[in-house]
Amino acid sequence: MSIGEEDLAGRIARRLDSGLPSIDQRTSARLRSARETALERLESQPAWAAATAGGAATGKGFRSEYNLRHLVSIATLIAVIWGMIYWQSVQHEEPLDIDAKLLSGDLPIDAYLDKGLDAWLTR
């Protein structure tokens, strides 16, 4: 922690401590019970689960958060790749189609400007 964070944490702790005398016995007992329950859960978890963000508080650990966000990202990535492959397959003309268009005179003007067409015609 930096010096500013330590100062802020100290001020928060002092503010919380100043309110201790005004807490009634029932609330104090409930807070103590909740703390003990949280410590018992923390001790029963593996060390890696307690170290992940929110793992100690929720009991779910890293996996539930990991699955939802990453599965959506992976599904989106797969959909984009599938779309690109589909678009390229639609845009790509087969050599037989090009030959048929050449023989029927239906080729666009760009095909006649292509250097590869000249080499193909001379063969």
Q: What is the mean pLDDT of each run of 10 residues along the chain (123 residues)?
A: 82 86 88 88 69 52 67 94 89 73 72 74 75
pLDDT given at position 43: 75
Q: What is the pLDDT, as a whole number, of residue 100? A: 77
Start-to-end Cα distance in the chain: 75
pLDDT for res 56: 47
Q: What whole-number distance in Å separates Cα of residue 95 and Cα of residue 93?
A: 7
Maximum CA pair distance of the chain?
100
CB 65 within 8 A of CB 51: no
Tell me, what's the pLDDT at 76? 96
H/E stretch holding 75 reads: helix 62-91
φ, ψ of residue 32 to 5 degrees: the values are -60, -45
Which pTM does this prediction carry?
0.30
